[in-house]
Structure 1
Amino acid sequence: MATYKKRGYKPKTKKEKVEVVEENSTTAEVFKSLDEGASKTEEWVVKNQKYIFGIIGAIAIVVLGFLGYNKFIAEPAQKEAMNEMYQAKKYFEEAVNGVESDSLYNMSLNGGEGKYGMLDIISEYSGTPAANLANYYAGMAYLNLKDYQNAITFLSDFSSNDKMLSPIAKGGIGDAFVQLEQLEEGLEYYDKAISANTNEFTTPMYLLKAARVAIELGSFDKASTYLNRITTEFSGSTEATQAEVLIGKVEASL
């Protein structure tokens, strides 16, 4: 059993002398092993230093390139795109609220007064958040112009976690499919609109639309679920009264 020996301790017996020699020998071997390991590591580093520095340099270039791209390319492009989109967005809003809406929706899509339309923003500023938002406006414009295929195409290219825009975009795709008499696809997107966000505006609206399509498809159990959710969770909504009427028809069918 090894015992602790104070510094300066001198072995007295032959056995103790042997133990000290063995201990020193073991320590020497450990340090020798460490030295050899360190030497091998140093040799590997020296031998592969070009490779190592190349990796470090590549990582640095990627990081600096990413930061530089965001600051000097992406951010200015986004700002410019939003400025360019201002007039097209104004046309869209005027179309929603005013007269001659078809003409204004077309100007929102294609531009006017020398300004870009949403289609120009999507093309010229691809990859920017502004181009993504332009997909939403373009899709909704096409939906109002009854160009349902293009409405589906552009709204499908729009991606957002916004609590209002996300369900409206999915609901818009549902509307387009229903107008194309593709009811099952329409119901699928109404379900997506319902699950995208729960709020007092979009949720009861798409629950009612989903219920009507489900009735058309003969899925009365599903329609009943949609309608009962409206009357239970959104009893103060404008859709609640219509839901109560439809519940009676659905129950008669069941």
Structure 2
Amino acid sequence: MAEVTNKANSSHDTSKPVNKEFDPQEAMDRASFFYKKNQNVILGGLAAVVIVVGGYFAYKNFVSKPNEAKAQAMIFHAQEYFARDSFKLALNGDGNNYGFLQVIDKYGSTQAGNLARYDAGVSYMRLGDYQKAIDMLNGFSASDDVLQPMALGVTGDAYMELNKIDEAVTAYKKAGHASDNNLTSAMYLFRAGLALEKAGKNQEAIDVYKEIRSKYPNTLEGRDMDKYLARLGEVKE
């Protein structure tokens, strides 16, 4: 009886997995069924990808590049006036050639249009129209390690002219920290320190001067920091 029982138990043993061979035809049938069931969604998704990719290349080649070339041509004479300190002509043009404002209006999304905002902001600053300078420079953005800090620095200068010292300090600090270089960082942090002194915020000025002395000791500003710190009662031991 024991032998019969063991045979019976072994014939119903489900502890071992059942190995089923892979059937390629069955897999193809399932894939075909899935495609037919979801055909509209799949084709719609592919169409969307084609439209997006095709649209990008079409815009880049047939809109973006030609517009950039046109903007570069438009800005040329304005930059010549800018270099000669003829800022009104640089902004508005001379009747025959466009100024920065026209370049911005027509091709503001191009690189040349973006640069025109910076040049226009500086032009307004030099003409004494400080709020327009601020507004124009706030619309400028660049990844350049020098030009972006300078735009922020000129914004700080404009705020100082308007006696908006807190806003000037904010702009100067942004300019000083926008990139880490000896050309602009120390200069604009130093202006932030002077503005803080003018506002009577001596401790904040001390912190800025110490930052300059620590990070940029070999710059013109860095070499003078002990003098400015001593003036505020901070003597280096």
Q: TM-score, normalised by structure 1?
A: 0.77
Who is 2:113 aligned against?
A: 131
Residues 197-206 or 51-60, more deviating: 197-206
Match of 2:94 among 92, 103, 112: 112
Alignment of 1:168-247 (within 5 A): 168-231=150-213, 233-239=215-221, 243-247=225-229
CA contact (8 A) 1:211 1:227 kept: yes
Who is 2:128 aligned against?
A: 146
- Deviation of the 1:54 alpha carbon: 2.1
Structure number, greater radius of gyration:
1
Task: Indicate the SS of the match to 1:124.
Answer: helix
Task: Indicate the SS of the match to 1:251.
Answer: coil
Count how many residue pairs are aligned between Structure 1 and Structure 2. 221
Who is 2:63 aligned against?
A: 73
- Deviation of the 1:229 alpha carbon: 4.1
How much identity, in percent, do the aligned residues show?
A: 32
Q: Structure 2, unaligned stretches of length 5 or more?
A: 1-6
- Deviation of the 1:220 alpha carbon: 1.2
CA contact (8 A) 1:140 1:151 kept: yes
CA contact (8 A) 1:208 1:243 kept: no
Distance in 1 between residues matched to 2:134 and 2:92, nearest whole Å: 18
Q: Structure 1, unaligned stretches of length 5 or more?
A: 1-14, 96-103
Residues 160-169 or 39-48, more deviating: 39-48
Q: TM-score, normalised by structure 2?
A: 0.82
Residues 49-58 or 135-144, more deviating: 49-58
What is the Cα-based RMSD across aligned positions, in Å? 2.7
Cα displacement string for residues 129-178 of structure 1 (whole angstroms, at most 9, x for unaligned residues): 11111111111111111111111111011001111101000111111111
The amino acid across from 1:212 in the alignment is: L
Distance in 1 between residues matched to 2:225 and 2:82, nearest whole Å: 32
